Amino acid sequence: MTAHLNIEVIIFNQVARFCRNLLKNNSDICSTEDLKLNVITRQEHNISRKDLSDNALKVLYRLSNAGYDAYLVGGGVRDILLGQEPKDFDIATNATPEQIKKLFRNCRLIGRRFRLAHILFGRDVIEVATFRGHHKEDNEKKNISAQSDEGMLLRDNVYGTVEEDAERRDFTVNAMYYNIADYSIHDYANGIEDLKNGIIRLIGDPETRYREDPVRMLRAVRFAAKLDMTICDKTAAPIAELSPLLRDIPAARLFEESLKLLQTGNGLNTYWMLRDFNLFQQLFPVLTPFLTEEGNSPAEQMIELVLRSTDKRINSGKRVNPAFMFAAMLWYPLTAKAQEIQDDNPKFDHYESIMEASNLILDTQVRSTAIPRRLTATIRDIWQLQLRLPRRTGKRAFVLIEQQKFRAAYDFLEMRGKVEGGETKDLCDWWTEFQDAPAPHRNNMVQNLNGGRRSGGPRKRRSPYRKKKRANNDS
């Protein structure tokens, strides 16, 4: 009886949330002119100092005791209100970066477009930002604020008040400030209501905000997928058309964003949302020709397999290697390019074609998302091992299984087997059995490949000279 009631409650809540979303989704955009402070007292919210890290509290209290305003802001407030554990604790204050540095000996100032203070506690980093102001380029601010012809912010070291900072926030659910002075929440954009209703809504005119920073389009998708929310219609409307603006974003920044999108436990859902908004195609242009309406090409099947596996590992608390994900996602563009090379150059063998194609595919991808060299080296290793895995005769199988990257290569082969079937699946089954087999059985498996010969390879023939010399000695 209780189970039935719980199911009914869940269904009712889902229906109620869907209906609220329909009503809210068609409401006006959150204009910066309409921002109004709503103070939520300590008794009216669920955030406790116990929810904050000790290091975040140290920073908040030291700023406050020094006479500065100090707020926990953004994702930290949002996640605690949702009952989730925050990944980061970001702090906003009216103290300038230089003033912050004087308060903390363990402070490092970073950033060119906007100066930030990082307070270092070993590996734990608390980011502190000075309230941002409006970036109108007048005579006084022209040296600290600049925009491109397309409206993108190039330089943004403009400081302001907490009200101006709230206007500069991207989404309403990120414009809530937890005040350490009285433990209240200052909500400037009605973010608490959007949070309750599951709505991701931009503050200000969406097209203008996206042109200021095109990465906001990626953030909208990431928050919607991560928090299981809906992107407001007017926030979503310009994304597909403006998605090519991502090409102007530094490739290093897009690499970091790609990890946040695909390696935080919601990668598969995020992938489908990115595709719907034409954003995935900007991040991975080499994959665009392999995307179909049906979504069942070998490349698409591989993307789903690797992202589903990545989500499972992350949600189980296991570590993941970004190189494995990229190696799997780019495999079919690699093999297609290798075939083109071999068709154009008949003298190239399969190995040479794959090696040449790997250079071309990675060079193209790195221009969009700057995958570091340490990862591209691992990607190449995983690809190269795919060519060696079929070669198991003699001592090759015994040597190969001891390779450092063997496990990653095997896991990838297993995914290929699920996509390709046939010989690839048979090869994967052989390696699956070989890994777990005792030594005698391993030898038998290799002997069967060798046509019954010993795994050590063909027996060497004794030279006629040595044979004749031994006969003379015997006589």
In total, the chain counts a number of residues equal to: 475
Q: Describe the crossing of helices 331-344 and 322-329 by its angle, rounded to 10 degrees.
A: 50
Q: Are strands 107-110 and 116-121 parallel, antiparallel or unpaired?
A: antiparallel
Q: Are strands 185-187 and 199-200 parallel, antiparallel or unpaired?
A: unpaired
Burial of 88: CB neighbours in 10 Å, binned 0-12, 13-18, 19+: middle
- Strands (DSSP E) contained in 214-322 are 230-231
- Strands (DSSP E) contained in 122-257 are 124-130, 145-147, 153-156, 176-179, 185-187, 199-200, 230-231
Residue 277 to residue 437: CA distance in whole angstroms: 48
186 bridge partner residues: 39, 177
Would you say 201 and 32 are in contact if contact means Cβ atoms under 8 Å apart?
no
Residue 422 to residue 419: CA distance in whole angstroms: 10
CB atoms within 10 A of CB 26: 10
Structural tokens at position 228: 């299981």
The 3-state DSSP class for residue 328 equals helix
Residues with a catalytic annotation lie at 88, 90, 170
Start-to-end CA span in the chain (Å): 99
Would you say 187 and 71 are in contact if contact means Cβ atoms under 8 Å apart?
no
Residue 305 to residue 375: CA distance in whole angstroms: 20
